[in-house]
Structure 1
């Protein structure tokens, strides 16, 4: 009788210790998955911050370019108005040449 009791006792100890080890493995697995997910969240947040900074810098560059284009258009209109009287004869000649070239192309 003592031998079967000893075997049952050893079996119970084996079961208890194995369950304890399983629980430890499960806890460590959940800890590692949570730390990995936290790292991924941090990485994604950093990526978003970098993307926002890039977008802001691009918007600033676009605004600067728009201002430059506007300034150049104003300068061009000023140049055209100041040279308008002297270039009126030249522009009419240029228009005539363009018309002749277009007619020549259409005839070919």
Structure 2
């Protein structure tokens, strides 16, 4: 019976020491690597920066679209004034201008 007791005792010591080793390895890994919360915070900051960049680009695109629409309207007005001063075909140019204006308004909508 002494032999099984020695084996049980050694088994208990082995289990206890292995648990201490596992805990020590976990502590070393946690201390050596940045914490998960820090990594998550860094990822969130990166996402916030990306979102801000996207929003600023969307604002710029919206402003550019407004400028394009204004320029198209000015161009149509200039064409209309130039063509209306033309002596030949006044009625045809007026009809054409109205058609172009309607077409551009439809495209803008």
With the length of structure 1 as denominator, give the TM-score of the two structures.
Answer: 0.57
Higher relative contact order (CA 8 A, sep 6+): 2
Report which of the two structures shows the higher radius of gyration computed on alpha carbons. 1
- What does residue range 59-70 of structure 1 map to in structure 2 within 5 Å? 59-70=62-73
In the other structure, the counterpart of 1:80 is 83
Superposed CA offset, 1:51-97 (max 9, x none): 110110111111111111111111111111111xx2229x7xxxxxx
More helix by share: 1
TM-align CA RMSD: 3.4
Structure 2 segments unaligned to the other structure (5+ residues)? 1-5, 93-109
Q: TM-score, normalised by structure 2?
A: 0.56
SS class of match (2:39): helix
Unpaired runs of 5+ residues, structure 1, are 92-108
Aligned residues: 85
